[in-house]
A and B are shown apart, each in its own frame.
Chain A
Amino acid sequence: MKRASFLATALLGACAALAIAGPASAQDFAITNATVALGDGSDPIPGGTVVVRGGKVAAAGANVPAPAGVPVIDGTGKWVSPGLFATLTDLGLYDVDAVGQSRDISASRSPFSAALDVAPAINPLSQHIKVSRAGGVTRATVAPRSGNSIFSGQGAVIDLDADHAPVVKARAFQYVELGEAGGALAGGSRTAAYVQLKNALAEAADLAARGRNDDVLLNRPDAAALIPVVNGQQPLYVHVERSADILSVLALKQEYPRLDLIIAGASEGWMVAPQIAAARVPVIAVALNDLPAQFELLGTTQSNVGRMAKAGVKVAIGHFYGMNQPRYAPQQAGNLVALGKLPGASGLTWGQAFAAITSIPAEISGMGGRYGVLKQGAAGDVVIWDGDPLEISSAPLRVFIDGVEQPLDNHQTRLRDRYGTPAEGDLPKAYDW
């Protein structure tokens, strides 16, 4: 029976691969009688229906009839949710982290910084994209990591489908380091990081106003890249962790009211949560930080996200770089649900936790209502799970992006299939493919 289910899995994968072998096209379908998680913060809906037509969600929820003529997938015993939105990742920017030749994550020897743009470097066939897709991740933001400047460059919003067009929105945000790392990059102190930031914004404004920037520290591409930041057209993601640094970043709004700020990190955010909420600045946090890995993290706790949410901060779970794989997002969200049972700890409800890895990061990325949510008009990014998506024993059975069913095979599944029994048969393992 072991062999049978293994084969069934393999066949399912093969069918999925065939299904997209030709030009991928969106399928109309309805999933019925499943537990439906909308991703909007609400509780899961038992016996719900999701209808996808023309690549978009047509309807989702309880008491939704499956339209006549649309193929129906029986969701009995399954869960259905929007695809996960993994925010702040390095997806498509490397093959092997420690193999420099395969990395486009940072550019420490480049003369450019703010102008760096991840969009043309993203490899949609990266194994990390395939592995993440099999984990239910359908959309992500990709951010460059810092090189030799406080400005890391411009990130993108991507989809994880199996085609050659991953970029949904290029140059979706600028990323800047203003904490401990920012100080080091700017010359050895946070003081230098703030001068560098303010000078850069001034040079960008100068370039925008006069078509030139004199007395420059920034080269022209970097200054030009910061014009939309100064104008508030492009969000500025600021990485800080310490409570005092968070307040310093919020204070920038006094001087630069047009800045569209988003705080990345905020491990001590719970200590200044009312101020963050009042400033209406969203946060992308690491879910489970609880160690003083640096001095700027002394107050960190797993209750950080829960406490910020309770104070009214819009907070997403993110920072899926390297070994913190995007497919871990549900486990991390589930851990925040677990905190709700511990006296003195602050967690999230199931609905809040799931939203923190779906609709909330999508909203912070300017994609609210389009991704990370099952509501009419949203993209047909749908995942059918074999159980509660936040439970560690659960996994996606089928993944749709824009209504197109996606292949879930990758290097790992092929190795798994080859080594189901380790010993050789009549030929070496190399012939087993």
Chain B
Amino acid sequence: MKPIRYLPFLLGAAMLAACSSGGGGEVRSASSTRAGQGDAPYASTYRAYPGVPTALVGATVYDGAGGYILNGTVLFAEGKVVAVGNASLAIPAGYTRIDGSGKFVTPGVIDIHSHLGDYPTPSVDAHEDGNEMTNPATPEVWAEHSVWPQDPGFTRALANGGVTSLQILPGSANLMGGRSVTLKNVPGRTVQQMKFPGAPYSLKMACGENPKRVYGSLGRAPSTRMGNFAANRAKWFEAQEYARGDRKERDLGMETLAGVLDGDILVQNHCYRADEMALVLDMAKEVGYKVTAFHHAVESYKIADLLREADVCSAVWADWYGFKMEAYDGIPENAALIASAGACVIIHSDDENGIQRLNQEAAKAQADGRRMGIDIPDAQVIGWFTLNAAKAMGIDDVTGSLAAGKMADVVLWNGNPLSVYSRPEKVWIDGALLFDALDPKRRPVSDFELGQPGEGDVK
């Protein structure tokens, strides 16, 4: 059985209270819910590595936003996409030209649901840092304070999965698991060096079996689904009270929840069953917040119309099912049925192996839809693991698609990324070439793997 970190959950973090007018000079502004802002605590120190102006020519380009160009040209320089066009696009002087004939270009892959760093490999007890299982509501904890930057999993996600950005979520043991952190998949000595500049925080929440099992087994509340809701509502009403007040007293958990109520912190809600998702939507209405995405959501297909109306994304696997009771009704057509109803689909991993093949999982889900008569174009399916994920992470204004001015987060695949026979050949993050399958030294090796069997090996 999978450890609890896989049993979807997620919860968001706390936001700092708005007390800038208060007397204590150390009190941070409540607006500092965007992780990358300079005045935020634990601010991002990420800096793009140098790159060279690059022209990818001759490849099939999927832009992540539903468009594609045969024999396309992608230009990037100074860390940003300069232009995307067809073969007639002029290549300015000074650009390094890379022939992409027979190859494919996509935006960097984005995983909205990862526990890398918080549950790193090796998966020893000492590395279990993703669930603060001491209280069913821990909105005060921040996932970034658990991230081990040396997790070898980051390197596999880059080299085999083309992952350039990812959201690290607390686990699903708790109703409110804590704040997420969004990272650029660039190795750092510190987590701050990996933090995605300007990305909003999310609160990880969890429905269903996990919280009631973890706490019910200790003889504590919640021990039932109704207990889950009671505990959530009580916490939210407390947060409403806090948010209405002067917010002068520091309360890390309340600061996070107030940030959600302010609309500054997103909500990523682990939830499997359709009926529970519908109840959560009503709880959000009652309290006054928005669920950004349901995660795992194996039964979204049963309420795809409600999810479209509520404008909530479903972050799903292609075809996981049956590992726990609330996953019993998972079906491989889930993603296609959600998309067919006009609701938002994201393919997520929740897994250090799955994150290496999000493209393949999307392709499987697409094919399962096609067999029941739902035809979703390839270019739209690419968006399931690029732009849609970026949207639900609040970073789509700067990454997730290939458009002029966006971050040059780019993957050159050696074949169609929707085929099992294709792999990333080159991956750029902010225009810096950080993986090259053709250059044995252009691959990251974490501190942990130095001097160990297989150091620097193809993985």
Contacts and interface: CB of A to CB of B under 8 A. Distances in A.
A322 B302 contact: no
Given A6-B372, A344-B458, A345-B458, A423 B305 contact: yes
A294 B123 contact: yes
B160 A96 contact: no
B419 interface: yes
Given A395-B367, A423-B305, A415 B329 contact: yes
Contact of B322 (A96, A290, A300): A96
A430 interface: no
A5 B452 CA distance: 54
Contacts of B1: 97-98, 322
B360 A392 contact: yes
Interface stretch (A70-78, A149-157, A329-337): A329-337
Main DSSP-derived SS at the B contact region: loop
B323 A323 contact: yes
Given A6-B372, A334-B420, A416-B331, A291 B352 contact: yes
B333 interface: yes
A56 to B, nearest CB: 30
Given A6-B372, A322-B1, A98 B323 contact: yes
Contact of B458 (A95, A295, A302): A302
A338 B325 contact: no
B459 A290 contact: yes
> Interface extent on A, as a size class?
35 or more
Main DSSP-derived SS at the A contact region: loop
Interface in A304-327: 322-323, 325
A322 B152 contact: no
Greatest chain B CB density within 10 A among A322, A337, A422 is at: A422
A254 interface: no
Nearest to B153: A291
Contacts of B420: 331, 334-335, 337-338, 390-392
A392 B341 contact: no
Contacts of B440: 343-344
B245 interface: no
Interface in B310-346: 319-325, 327-333, 337, 341
A131 to B, nearest CB: 8
Contacts of A345: 458
A428 interface: no
A338 B2 contact: no
Contacts of A325: 319
Contacts of A344: 440, 458
Contacts of A398: none
A391 B419 contact: yes
A171 interface: no
Contact of A392 (B330, B364, B372, B414): B364
Nearest to B123: A293
Contact of A342 (B325, B448, B458): B458
Nearest to A128: B322
A96 B323 contact: yes
B269 to A, nearest CB: 19
Interface in B11-67: none
A131 B321 CA distance: 11
A377 interface: no
B423 A338 contact: yes
Contacts of B445: none
B174 interface: no
Contacts of B320: 323
Given A295-B122, A334-B420, 18 more contacts: A1-B373, A96-B322, A96-B327, A288-B353, A290-B356, A292-B122, A294-B122, A294-B124, A298-B449, A298-B452, A322-B1, A323-B323, A325-B319, A391-B419, A392-B363, A393-B364, A393-B367, A395-B371
Closest 10 CB pairs of A and B: A299-B453, A334-B420, A2-B373, A98-B324, A393-B367, A299-B454, A290-B459, A345-B458, A5-B373, A97-B323
29 contacts: A2-B374, A98-B7, A98-B323, A131-B321, A290-B356, A290-B459, A292-B121, A292-B122, A292-B448, A292-B449, A293-B122, A294-B124, A297-B122, A331-B360, A338-B421, A339-B458, A341-B423, A342-B423, A343-B437, A392-B364, A393-B370, A393-B419, A394-B367, A411-B329, A412-B332, A416-B372, A419-B302, A420-B372, A423-B305
